[in-house]
Amino acid sequence: MKFTKEEWKRKMCMRVAQIMHDNFENGSSGIHSRIFEVLIPDEVVLVGESLKGNDYREHVVPCCLIRDECWKMFKGGANTEDVAFAIERHIVIVRITFEEADHLDKSLRLKNVMPNGWEFNKGDIYDRLKEAGIEFNLYEDAKKDAA
């Protein structure tokens, strides 16, 4: 691999931020939240898995929330680098069980939102999983990134 995992993630986040900014500058009303999944490979954002299993890939911060917050950042005058950094911080996947995903999305109604009081660019990105009582381990390379 030509780039480290961190370098590759940073480049992909910058690419997404640039595309979003181009759409913003062009007067677009938005962009689909799947842009993250299409342009950022799982291998650079997968950081851990539930103690109960790993059937389901869960974005710890919902993609639609990341997209909307980045759009707000552009409206507030943020540059592409600032938005790329925000994407890089928030675009993280933890593998969980289907049952845990169901509990998170349906029982707790946290499919597209973070818990009450959580703030973008400030809050713990894992608060949604913690709110659902999902216990998970971070992979070794993710532990050093979080330190």
Radius of gyration (Cα) for the chain, nearest Å?
A: 15
Strand partners, 137: 49
Distance CA 102, CA 139 (A): 24
What are 126's two structure tokens?
């894992």
pLDDT exceeding 70 applies to what percent of the chain? 95
pLDDT of 61 > 50? The answer is yes
User: In the 8-state DSSP scheme, what is residue 96?
Assistant: E
pLDDT exceeding 90 applies to what percent of the chain? 88
Q: What is the DSSP pairing of strand 46-50 with strand 136-138?
A: antiparallel
- How many folded domains does the chain comprise? 1
Task: Please report the pLDDT score of residue 28 as a whole number.
Answer: 87
| First-last CA distance in the chain | 24
Residues in the chain: 147
User: In the 8-state DSSP scheme, what is residue 47?
Assistant: E
Tens of pLDDT, residue by residue over 90-140, are 999 999 999 999 999 999 999 999 999 999 999 999 999 999 999 999 998
Q: What is the pTM assigned to this prediction?
A: 0.91
Range of the domain at 12: 5-146
CB 60 within 8 A of CB 129: yes
pLDDT average, residue stretch 33-52 = 96
Residue 2 burial (CB count, 10 A): 5
Residue 47 burial (CB count, 10 A): 21
Average pLDDT, the chain: 94
